[in-house]
Chain A
Amino acid sequence: MTSARILVVDDEPQIRRVMRTTLVAQGYQVDDARTGEEALEKLRAAKFDLVLLDLNMPGIGGLATCRLIRDTSDAAIVVLSVRSSEKDKVDALDAGADDYVTKPFGTPELLARIRAALRRVPLAGDPVHRVIELAGLEINLGTRRVAKEGKEVRLTPKEFDLLHYLVTNPNVPIPHGKLLQAVWGPDYGQEVEYLRVFINQLRKKIEPEPSKPRYILTEPWLGYRFVMPSRSDLENP
């Protein structure tokens, strides 16, 4: 299992030290920052799964930092603060925090809240953040970007969701109904023509030759199959 990366943001060196020791002992990878500015810089440079954020900090402050992190990152944010009023909690949660822990807190409670927050976010090393590289085609499942021959291809959210489902279930025929329900939801299942339109659009965007698809193949009377070439196929096309 991938160990989560946690960024501790607090201006108190003692707290940073205690947090680091505690979290490293639990198997997490830990980095720290003294200010909001430093935290944002570290988040730009590396991917973190969770941010432990103090509210009372010099500089841009905890709430503003929280908002800025949420604008650019999907990391879970757990706010740590001595402020215990309802308004402070609501402000922090509205600013994008996932949880709010009032100081002083017990270590078991904090660790439990970290585990709970991490359950809700995919880890940076998980397959969901994989970049799939095929001949002339690159699919970044984390950033939801697709490039064909080095040029970015614009997919609509539904087109990407469909492609995502296909590439994460490669080389197996997926029935129409299953694809429709996975991408559009449980109310769908019979709209085969609707699905065909999206498959055709995807082929036009990602296939080298849409009329002779190489990746998204039709399984007659059943559904579709995404062909993931083996490493040797990619090396000797």
Chain B
Amino acid sequence: MNAGVKRRGEQPQAAERHDRELRVNVVFTDLAETLLALRAAARLAADLRAHIVVVVPQVVPYPAPIEAPPISTAFLVHRFRTVADDMAIDLHVRVYICRDRRTVLAVALGPQSLVVIAGRRSWWPTREQRLAAELAHLGHDVVFCTHEWGS
């Protein structure tokens, strides 16, 4: 765990057990897009016998103390649990309180991870497209899904 990055959201034992299995990482972007990514991840996870981890980088801007994120971690975890229950999928939520999203993704994703990101695709790369490209450049296996994907 790096300085300035705190992971919350699940019991350490469960996290260690899941670290040994193939995991599909869903990177939180915004709620609607993350739900889309979760649907795609659920199909992948079922066919690959993998489990899903939602990585939520919660950026706390510099003037604010990192111990006091603007949104409660428990609230974020609860929100995903409710969504997961509705979709009948098994997932783990890892909320990382950090100063910078790139730093936290370097910590949260292992080498050559399988990552699902949802977003809008445009001729001028959107924020999500850029993030997907950066992660692919770092060697991760990135699935970028849009609203047309697998609908």
What is the interface of chain A, defined by CB distance below 8 A to chain B? 156-159, 188, 190-191, 193-194, 196-198, 200-201
Contacting pair A200 B47 (CB below 8 A): no
Bound form: Cα–Cα A66–B58 in Å = 59
Kindly supply a per-residue 1/0 record for chain B positions 17-53, scoring 1 wherever the CB is within 8 Å of any chain A CB and 0 otherwise.
0000010000000000000000010011001110000
What is the interface of chain B, defined by CB distance below 8 A to chain A? 22, 40, 43-44, 47-49, 114, 141, 143-145, 148-150
User: In angstroms, how far is the closest chain A Cβ from the Cβ of B134?
Assistant: 16
Bound form: Cα–Cα A196–B145 in Å = 13
| Residue of B114, B141, B149 most packed against chain A (CB within 10 A) | B141
Bound form: Cα–Cα A158–B40 in Å = 16
Binding site secondary structure of chain B: mixed
Q: Using Cβ atoms and an 8 Å threshold, which residues of chain B touch A157? A: 47
The 8 closest A-B pairs by CB, nearest first: A158-B47, A193-B143, A156-B49, A200-B141, A191-B150, A156-B48, A197-B141, A197-B143
Bound form: Cα–Cα A159–B141 in Å = 16
Q: Using Cβ atoms and an 8 Å threshold, which residues of chain B touch A193? A: 143-145, 149
Given A194-B150, A197-B114, also A158-B143 (CB < 8 A): no
| Residue of B43, B44, B114, B148 most packed against chain A (CB within 10 A) | B44
User: In angstroms, how far is the closest chain A Cβ from the Cβ of B146?
Assistant: 10
Q: Using Cβ atoms and an 8 Å threshold, which residues of chain B touch A190? A: 148-150
Bound form: Cα–Cα A196–B43 in Å = 14
Contacting pair A201 B145 (CB below 8 A): no
Per a CB cutoff under 8 Å, which of B49, B141, B149 touches A191?
B149
